[in-house]
Chain A
Amino acid sequence: AQKITQTQPGMFVQEKEAVTLDCTYDTSDPSYGLFWYKQPSSGEMIFLIYQGSYDQQNATEGRYSLNFQKARKSANLVISASQLGDSAMYFCATHSGGGADGLTFGKGTHLIIQP
C-alpha cells in the first residue's frame, strides 16, 4: 500500500517569496507517479504537476516545479514568486503500478500568502 506524508499542516508566506511544500511517500512498487493538486476555497481540485518515477528530470509547469529526490522518497512542490491567488490547500498524491486503482492522498498543507 502507498502512503503520503505532508508534515506542514499550514504555512504563511510573504507574497513574491518562493514556497516549498513538503511531501514524502512510501511505496514498494518500482513504478509510480506523483501528483500535486491545488484546492482553493471554492473547493475544486486543480491538477498542478506530475512526476513519474522513471523521469530523469524534475517536472516543471510554469511557476510550479517538483523537487524529486527518489532516494529520499521526497517530492516537494516549489512555487516560485508566490501570489495572493496561490492561497489554497495543496495535496500531494501518488499512484503505483499501473495506477488503475486511483490515487492515495496526503492530508494536505494549507498555504496562506500574505501581502
Chain B
Amino acid sequence: EAQVTQNPRYLITVTGKKLTVTCSQNMNHEYMSWYRQDPGLGLRQIYYSMNVEVTDKGDVPEGYKVSRKEKRNFPLILESPSPNQTSLYFCASSLSPEAPYGYTFGSGTRLTVV
C-alpha cells in the first residue's frame, strides 16, 4: 500500500531531551516536507526537501533539523525540545507538486513537551 509512515504516533517528552520523529514513504517521491499544526493556525511548514541531500527551511524552522540521506526517509530532529514545540506534526510527500495528486500525508505525530 502506498503510504507515508510516521513514528511515533504519540510522544511525551521532557524539555531538552533530544528526539527524532521518523518519516518514510514507499512511493519513490522526490518531494517531502514537514508541517506542524496548532489550533487556530492551520498547518505551517517547518522544512522541505526536493531530493536527496537537498533541504531548505520553511516558515517555522527554528528549533528543528532535518536530513535527507535516502530518498524514502526524511526524519525530523528536535535537538533540545521546548514546550512551545508541543504540536501535531505531519510529514508529507509528493511525486510532483504540479501534478493534481496533492501531497500524501502521514498519520501525524502528536508531541507533548513538558
Contacts and interface: CB of A to CB of B under 8 A. Distances in A.
What's the interface size class on B, roughly?
20 to 34
Majority SS at the chain B contact face: strand
Interface string A73-113: 00000000000000000010101001111111111100000
Contacts of B33: 102-103
B48 A35 contact: no
B108 interface: yes
A30 interface: no
B48 A100 contact: yes
A12 interface: no
Nearest to A32: B98
B45 A102 contact: yes
Identify the interface centre among B33, B58, B105: most chain A CB within 10 Å of its CB.
Answer: B105
Given A44-B108, A100-B48, A101-B48, A95 B100 contact: no
A47 B93 CA distance: 12
A37 interface: yes
Contacts of B31: 99-100, 102
A59 interface: yes
